[in-house]
Structure 1
Amino acid sequence: MRHRADNLVILSGCSGGGKSTLLAELSRRGHATVEEPGRRIVRQETSGQGTALPWINMEAFARRAVAMSLEDRENAPATGWVFFDRGLVDAASALHAVAADRLLHGLRNSHRYNSRVFLTPPWPEIYVSDGERQHDFSAAVAEYERLLRDYHTLSYDPVVLPKVSVSERADLVLEMLG
């Protein structure tokens, strides 16, 4: 039997590993997509002199990301593939890392997504920092390792995407989803 969450697919992994580029390709191919909460929060906070920024107040940032991820999940279309550039597990993982918050452990049985999660691995050749991503590559690698561990712990099936073109990655994701 297909569950409500089966059509909700997470793209996670290393910052700067190509998630947003892959999301854009899947959108170009006609699939529903949801932009990363973190980038939306950074834009909102910097436009209004807010402090819920990862380099100022990581806990406040993570709590905003949790709330936004819950809202994104709730508002997602009920049919067709919906691809999320990060999601609730990523936000709860960050919150747990900075505040020992227990939400992450509660996600084993609630607010599920498709069991197959696609992770972009560390890829130094394409990694860039910008105004919305200010951490360095070593911090991105540590985040990737934490997410890989947390997705396994929550009984997801993480698939590490190969370092190939965005078109090949999109083909692989869609093929693996059937």
Structure 2
Amino acid sequence: MKQRYTFSINYNLRSLCIHNHLNEIIKALKSKRIIITGGPGSGKTSIINHIETLGYNCMHEVSRQVIKEARKAGIEQLFLTDPMLFSHKLMASRLKQFQEAENIHHPKIFYDRGMPDVTSYLDYIGTEYPSNFEQPCFENNYDLIFILPPWKEIYTQDNERYETFEQAIAIHNHLFNGYEKYGYTLKIVPEGTIEKRVSFILKNTAQ
């Protein structure tokens, strides 16, 4: 009886060790999802493009595509005309990006903005949204968040970037608060050359 009891304990311990080992393997195989966010004109796209040249998998910003499609339909600034319609399209596109990344087998996946950016921008303009609208932000989690602070020396405006630098600062603050609302801790990327900023990000994703 004692021998059978000892065997049972050893068997359960071995099963637990195997289970824990499998979980570690699954965790190691799972891609690390890394967000690069920040206010307009902070250098995100340049950084994402540079990271991509280094061989990393990158998910590019989708808002400009939404804007261009709206302009084809005769709406110059969809975000200003109908912020909720714009945000629904944007949230759907970013959720699709997140889901498509499940089929990408790469240690790290970088995103030019994430789903919490959508609600943060709505908070910035003071537009209310139903609680279920932010459900994807709670249910789909990223692993690391890097935020680029406003940098006046590199800030420019164009047809898609109509915000003033002062507005860019306000958007930055809403992004920071928005990500924190969903439980994230943000890493601030210091000013510098693209190479130095990318080096900072990659160093901090290796931890």
Give the 5 Å matches for 1:83-122: 83-96=110-123, 97-103=126-132, 106=135, 109-114=138-143, 116-122=144-150
Deviation at 1:160, TM superposition (A): 0.9
Query: Is the 8 Å Cα contact of residues 6 and 113 (structure 1) preserved in structure 2?
Result: no
Aligned to 2:205: 177
Check 1:103–1:25 CA distance in 2 against 1; reply closer, same or farther (3 A cut): farther
Q: TM-score, normalised by structure 2?
A: 0.77
Query: Is the 8 Å Cα contact of residues 63 and 95 (structure 1) preserved in structure 2?
Result: no
Aligned to 1:39: 64
Q: What is the rounded CA distance, in whole Å, between the counterparts of 1:106 and 1:3 in structure 2?
A: 27
Deviates most, 30-39 or 42-51: 42-51
Check 1:4–1:146 CA distance in 2 against 1; reply closer, same or farther (3 A cut): farther
Deviation at 1:109, TM superposition (A): 4.1
Check 1:79–1:148 CA distance in 2 against 1; reply closer, same or farther (3 A cut): same
Q: Provide structure 1 residue ranges, at least 5 long, that are not aligned to the other structure.
A: none
1:19 corresponds to which letter in structure 2? K
Check 1:118–1:58 CA distance in 2 against 1; reply closer, same or farther (3 A cut): same
Deviates most, 67-76 or 91-100: 91-100
By relative contact order (CA 8 Å, sep 6+), the higher-ranking structure is 1
2:117 corresponds to which letter in structure 1? D
- 1:75 partner SS: helix
* 1:80 equivalenced with 2:80 (yes/no): no
Give the 5 Å matches for 1:14-163: 14-50=39-75, 53-76=78-101, 77-96=104-123, 97-103=126-132, 106=135, 109-114=138-143, 116-163=144-191
Q: TM-score, normalised by structure 1?
A: 0.89
Considering only aligned residues, what root-mean-square deviation do their CA atoms show, in Å? 2.2
Misfit runs of 4+, over 6 Å: none
Count the aligned residue pairs.
177
Once the two structures are superposed, residues 24-83 of structure 1 have per-residue CA deviations (whole angstroms, 9 ceiling, x without a partner) of: 000111111111121121122223324672232222111111011001111122433111
Q: What is the rounded CA distance, in whole Å, between the counterparts of 1:144 and 1:110 in structure 2?
A: 23
- 1:150 partner SS: helix
Check 1:119–1:112 CA distance in 2 against 1; reply closer, same or farther (3 A cut): same
Check 1:74–1:3 CA distance in 2 against 1; reply closer, same or farther (3 A cut): farther
Q: What is the rounded CA distance, in whole Å, between the counterparts of 1:81 and 1:34 in structure 2?
A: 11
2:43 corresponds to which letter in structure 1? G
- 1:162 partner SS: coil
Check 1:107–1:68 CA distance in 2 against 1; reply closer, same or farther (3 A cut): closer
Who wins on radius of gyration, i.e. which is larger? 2
> Per residue, is there more helix in 1 or in 2?
2
**Aligned-residue identity in percent:** 23
Deviation at 1:94, TM superposition (A): 2.5
Q: What is the rounded CA distance, in whole Å, between the counterparts of 1:54 and 1:29 in structure 2?
A: 33
2:128 corresponds to which letter in structure 1? A
- 1:125 partner SS: helix
